Structure 1
Amino acid sequence: MVEKFSLKDALFNQQKVEYLAVLITGAYPTFKADKFVSQIIKEFPNLELKQRITCIREQLERQLPGDFEGALIILLKTLPRELDPDKTDDDFGDFIFAPLADFVAKNGLENRYLSLSFNALAQMTKRFSCEDAIRYFINKYPDESFVFMKNMSKSNNYHQRRLASEGLRPRLPWCIGIKFEHQKAIAILDTLYFDKTRFVVRSVANHLNDIAKFDANLVIKTLEKWQKEDRQKNKKEFIFLMQHSLRTLVKQGNENALAMLGYQSNPKISIENFECKEVQITLGNYLNFSFTIKTKQDEKLMIDYKIIYPTHNQRKSEKVFKIKKITLKENALIVIQKKHLFRVMSSRKLYPGEYKIQLQINGKNFAEDKFRLIF
């Protein structure tokens, strides 16, 4: 039997903790490494990923000097070499250093320590992103933190530049929420959207996508301004930025977002034979459906489908799924077949009952059908 992959065990395990203990001992010879490792590993089986970060941080607090400044000197000496500055994407670093940033967030969150804490996070984020830790400072010291983030956005190190965008994201997954004017952060994104590294550009796009969920107009206006400025000389990179920034609005059928990507809101097409092959399916099986598209003129199409789910309180929830993007000539005819697996998911609880499936093309609903899911 294949053992199920565990992200928390892959990122935080005995080998990783021992590695951290060796680094700390090198900076602080009286550090009780064996006790540090044994205490943490004893707790790990009962802890989830973020709880393991807290566990390590708490052990650091027990063993490092009681004064923040003294402890911080040790932690900074503990840091390994910086991540490769020549990489351009997906270089998050080692999660085992997340507890160090958490230590700063929990123990250095005083006005007298601000300069020390900001400097420490600036160094730590070159080893592992401090996007969560900085948010505690943003909430307590918004003005000072904004100045710090502006400085990070102008750094020669792309991990620091990414922090300026990622840390200010309105809805950053896995992290604490922030009370910060989302409009104000655009000034920082203005300096980052044409960055030469995909790691930074993706963060900017994710940042805009967060904003799109509650302020679509600001996202559209910002992208239109950037398009006119033409500072991103890599055209493919700017297309990536727009597509990634607008993905939520596209799924919602926002006409302005679709137009920016070159899709007409009312394509001249007809849909025939849209139907589900099954009127009833059981959990763990596929729903098969198909349809035919006929064009009346040349068309660029974004073809999606939407599942509308029943819930426990008789309300409906929905989710849009991608099929394909395609460009068709006038009088073209294309038959598309698709299947959707209904399985147990951690992100959405499924209930038995009547479901609806809708065909969405360029943000508009063109056809729909119904089926039942039984357990």
Structure 2
Amino acid sequence: MPTADELISADTVSNLARLLARAARRPDSPALRARAATLGGLAFSGRVAAVRDAVLADLPEDWPAFEAVLRTALEDPGFAGWMTFPVNEAVGVRGLAAFEPGLALLRDLTPRLTAESAVRPFLRADPARALAVVGGWTGDPDPHVRRLVSEGTRPRLPWAPQLPAFIADPRPAVPLLDALYRDGSEYVRRSVANHLNDISRDHPALAVEIAAKWRTDPAPTTDRVVRHGLRTLVKAGRPDALTLLGHSPDVEVTVTGPVVTTPHVVVGEYLVFDYAVTHTGALPAELVVDYVVQHVKANGARTPKVFKLTTRGMAPGETLTGTKRHSFKPITTRRYHSGEHLVQIQVNGRVRGEAAFTLDAAP
């Protein structure tokens, strides 16, 4: 993954300073020029905020003049890529007072680099007013603009401010998804699926209801959208999501294992286990086979984390076998604790077998 310095580097900001100075017909962009020399030590979000503030300092304070500079900049094909990300954020600050023109400028900026974060201040300030504008973009010929509709309105978009109103009630944005789930661009459909997955985290029944509605009027790509959008519910073993996707929670199977071949694991090493799943029913079945690691927490309780093994159809009497290596390499998003952990095999949302192993998390 690129580093913050690779995404928004001193050279990137210096180039932005020259481009905006030219667009504004002025000799220099002093705030941006100064900022380019002082980015060291800042993480990505800090760089975005610092460059955003420099853009606001260098460009005119009144909206028409501010917009005019950026529209002139858009005539330059070099005004593209990561240099535009903090510019989008500046529009999210100064454009709020203008509102509809601010959103229109973000629509035109997003093909250069997504404005999915910058559109969110408008949605937080006045959801109904913003949706009235954004909803008109679902038929835009540019897939980047159509994706901005679904991605910008996601309730829990990663690395961006959440939308509390849509977390509480996502239904106002659902008509936008209804207009886009059959979109001709995989780029857009993937965003729609991720938006549906966001909804599923807070309103699982509504997410299943939306997916079921889309399945009554599908495109050839709809099944993939629905499966990706309901992935969190499938991992959680939610019966209505599994049933909608054709994975009966009551499927007849026998499971051997997991058979742990590394009963003592040190952080940095691998848990290794074997498993076998046999379909014992009389008719073919669609199986979602996952494994669950029950991690020990600091207080001694356990918390589950589901990982995918396979999704596949199986004939009566067919057996699926495998060996899995699960890494306990240190990662920044999880802290490991020593103790007896569990690994479980889950089929169509139901745990069918488990085994214990000890993890040594000592430094």
TM over 0.5: yes
SS of 1:43's equivalent in the other structure is coil
Which residue number in structure 1 is paired with residue 122 of structure 2? Answer: 137
Q: Which has the larger displacement, 55-64 or 205-214?
A: 55-64
Determine which of 88, 95, 99 is the counterpart of 2:82. 95
Q: Which residue of 2 is the match for residue 75 of structure 1?
A: 70
In the TM superposition, what whole-angstrom CA distance separates every residue of 1:337-375 from its partner, at most 9, and x where no partner exists? Answer: 111010110111111122111111111100011111112
Distance 2:91 2:279 in 1: 59
Alignment RMSD: 1.9
- Percent identical among aligned pairs is 28
The equivalent position to 2:25 in structure 1, one of 5, 23, 29, is 29
Q: Deviations over 1:137-196 (max 9, x none)?
A: 111122210101111122222222111111111111111111233011111111111111
Matched, 1:218 2:176: no
Distance in 2 (CA, whole Å) between partners of 1:9 and 1:151 is 36
Does the CA-based 8 Å contact 2:278-2:320 persist in structure 1?
Answer: yes
Post-superposition shift, 1:115? 2.7
In 1, the alpha carbon distance for the partners of 2:234 and 2:205 equals 13
Give yes or no for contact 2:197–2:228 (8 Å, CA) kept in 1: yes
Alignment of 1:1-375 (within 5 A): 6-33=2-29, 35-36=30-31, 38-79=33-74, 94-110=81-97, 113-178=98-163, 179-180=165-166, 181-230=169-218, 232=219, 235=220, 237-297=221-281, 298-374=284-360, 375=362
CA shift, 1:94, in A, is 1.7
SS at match of 1:267: coil
Q: For 1:157 and 1:244, locate their aligned partners in 2 and report how far apart those are by CA, in whole Å.
A: 23
Aligned pairs, number: 355
Q: 1:115, 1:292 → 2: CA distance?
A: 58
Contact preservation (8 Å) 1:292, 1:335:
yes
3-state DSSP class of the match of 1:338? strand
Aligned mates of 1:362, 1:328 — CA distance in 2: 13
Deviation of residue 6 (structure 1)? Answer: 4.4
Q: SS at 1:190's partner residue?
A: helix
Does the residue aligned with 2:37 lie in a helix, a strand or coil? helix
SS at match of 2:35: helix
Aligned counterparts of 1:313 and 1:28: Cα–Cα separation in 2: 59
Distance across 2 between alignment mates of 1:82 and 1:243? 38
Q: What's the CA shift for 1:289? A: 0.4
Gaps of 5+ in 1: 84-92
Distance 2:217 2:224 in 1: 17
CA distance in 2, matches of 1:370, 1:61: 57
Question: 8 Å contact 1:31–1:64 — kept in the other structure?
Answer: no
Deviation at 1:69, TM superposition (A): 2.3
The residue type paired with residue 11 of structure 1 is L
Deviation at 1:80, TM superposition (A): 5.2
Provide the C-alpha distance between the structure 1 equivalents of 2:23 and 2:270, rounded to a whole number of angstroms: 57
Describe the SS at the equivalent of 1:44.
coil
Q: Distance in 1 between matches of 2:225 and 2:185?
A: 12
Q: Could you say what secondary structure the match of 1:229 adopts?
A: coil
Compared with structure 1, are the counterparts of its residues 367 and 28 closer, same or farther at alpha carbon in structure 2 (3 Å cutoff)? same
Runs of 4 or more, structure 1, over 6 Å off, are: none
